[in-house]
Chains A and B, each alone.
Chain A
Amino acid sequence: MKYGLFLGCNVPAVRPDVERAIRLSMPRLGAEMLDLEGSACCPAFGSFPSADEIASLAVSAWNFSIAEELGVPMVTECGSCYSSLRMALEKLRENGGLREKVQGLLREKAGREFRGTASVRHIIDVLHNDMGTDRIRASIDRPVTGMSAVVQYPCHTLFPSEVVGFEESSGRPRMLRGLVEALGIEVRPYSRELQCCGGAGGFVKGSFAGASEFAFRKLRAIKAETDADLIVVSCITCLEHLDRMQAELAKKDPSFVPLPVFDYNQLLAVCMGFDPAEVASISTIPREAVVERIRGAGR
């Protein structure tokens, strides 16, 4: 199966080890990840969508036109990219006036065609529903044993469910749990599992204290209610934010022992035997100890 890997901005610039993990692990499962050459920012909700609707949709349509030319579904790990692209596609399909205006701009000024045939998938959806947990189980040397995790569902893949959803119930998502369990890692439920990380949009920048407290409540609940060894996410913002906020909390409260945070494809790539120096090398909270435990199980 062929897909177009939509990189966005944060993954290739801030956490390129996640990009590397995706590029190595997906082909091992049978997914060919093509480059969407010339793709730009999704655009991020805080940029053009907050300033000019036509400009915003023109940027989205620019990205769609690249995937449409290749005839492949776009796949992204970043929750914000996923949601921004899905919502823009919905708007462009629903609103003929906006669509024609954007189509005209792209055609006249860039010689590009936006047809509306693009599709946008989140990588959890592709991993769970196209690749499947059986294939994932078969792709690793040996399952991990004796480890537990908590999972962070990306809010942008849940709401609004009629536009972005792929879970049976956005109020009770289960796919990321299934993907982590396929590696042999047990997943612990906890009270704030469905609370979003709070790292996207303008919350952190506009109200750092409020945003920190919001994240701390979630992090404290993980520690109080579970024996998790790690946090598994599948969104660049969740990855960066939960990493950073744990460091902040540990500064304020020395009794708080932070947990390493992994993007799912990083965890998968480590379980597949790829070099951790390439697929899981950039973080604030050290991940080496957990990586070594996983590799110990696989060797």
Chain B
Amino acid sequence: MIDLSKVNAGLWREIVENCGDIRHCFTCSTCVAGCPAAEGSPPLFVRDLVRKILLGLEESLLDDETPWLCVTCSTCEEMCPMGVKPFEVCLAVRRWQARNDESFIPASVAEIFETGHTQPVDRVREKRRAVGLEEVPPTIAKFPEMLEKFRAVLRETDLVKNNDYMFRE
């Protein structure tokens, strides 16, 4: 039984600011039918995320790790008959979780802040040379002065400001 006197009725405003209008969702489950991650354990059911947001079930949503299973294929976005943008909802729930519980913040954001990349593109020199490429690709990995500016931009964002201990130079 859900006790609606204990929910956060304004939750949807905190989460879906730039998504489609999730209030149009009528739980038809089209987003689930085409979703690879609906076969996960536990499964990702985007329609359930939408219900939790609309009902204001804050605690349950903050414990829910299923949005992180999303494959990002956007099949749900294509198929949703109500323009709810389920993939955007997944990302928006992740962001809301990351804002409210720092343990949700993915490690890759710190890697990108530090190096500009999610992979060690400047530490595979032999592998690159072996296929006839320059050892460091001409990305931000090759231009330290650009990386410095890149970090200066990111330092102004709420994510880095509020969690500065995570971001190394």
Interface residues of A (CB under 8 A from B): 7, 9-10, 12-14, 16-17, 19-20, 23, 35-41, 43-55, 58-59, 62, 80, 83, 91, 95, 98, 105-106, 109-112, 155-156, 158-161, 164, 170, 195-196, 198-203, 206-207, 209-211, 213-214, 275, 277-279, 281-282
14 A-B pairs (CB sep. < 8 Å): A12-B121, A16-B131, A37-B142, A40-B112, A44-B108, A48-B159, A50-B94, A51-B159, A55-B160, A109-B149, A155-B73, A155-B74, A199-B71, A282-B127
Q: Is the CB of B91 within 8 A of A49?
A: yes
Chain B residues whose CB sits within 8 angstroms of the CB of A164 once the complex forms: 74
Report A95 CB to chain B, min CB distance, Å. 7
A201 to B108, CA, bound (A): 12
The A interface is mostly helix, strand or loop, or mixed, namely helix
10 additional contacts (CB under 8 A) given A7-B121, A62-B150, A206-B40: A9-B117, A12-B133, A40-B117, A45-B91, A50-B91, A50-B94, A51-B159, A55-B158, A156-B72, A275-B132
Residues of B within 8 A of A53 (CB): 18, 95
Is the Cβ of A55 less than 8 Å from the Cβ of B109?
A: yes
Interface set, chain B 100-132, CB cutoff 8 A to A = 105-106, 108-109, 111-112, 116-121, 124, 127-128, 130-132
- Chain B: residues with CB nearer than 8 A to chain A? 18, 36-37, 39-43, 65, 68-75, 77-78, 87, 91, 94-95, 98, 105-106, 108-109, 111-112, 116-121, 124, 127-128, 130-133, 137-140, 142-143, 146, 149-150, 152-160
Cβ contacts under 8 Å, B133 to chain A: 12, 16, 19-20, 23
Verify A207–B121 contact, CB threshold 8 A.
Answer: no
Across-interface contacts of A45 in B (CB, < 8 A)? 70, 72, 91
Residue among A14, A52, A59, A156 with most chain B CB within 10 A: A52
Closest-by-CB residue of A relative to B107 is A47
Q: Tell me whether A155 and B95 are in contact (CB under 8 A).
A: no
| Distance A58 CA – B156 CA, assembled complex (angstroms) | 10
5 closest Cβ pairs, A-B complex: A207-B40, A52-B159, A13-B119, A155-B73, A110-B149
With both chains docked as a complex, state the minimum distance between the C-beta of B161 and any C-beta of chain A, in angstroms.
Answer: 10
Say which residue of A44, A106, A201, A278 sits within 8 Å of B71 (CB atoms).
A201
**Residues of chain B contacted by A201 (CB below 8 angstroms):** 37, 69-73
CB contact under 8 A between A51 and B94, given known A43-B112, A109-B149, A206-B65? yes
Given contacts A110-B150, A203-B69, contact A51 B119 (CB under 8 A): no
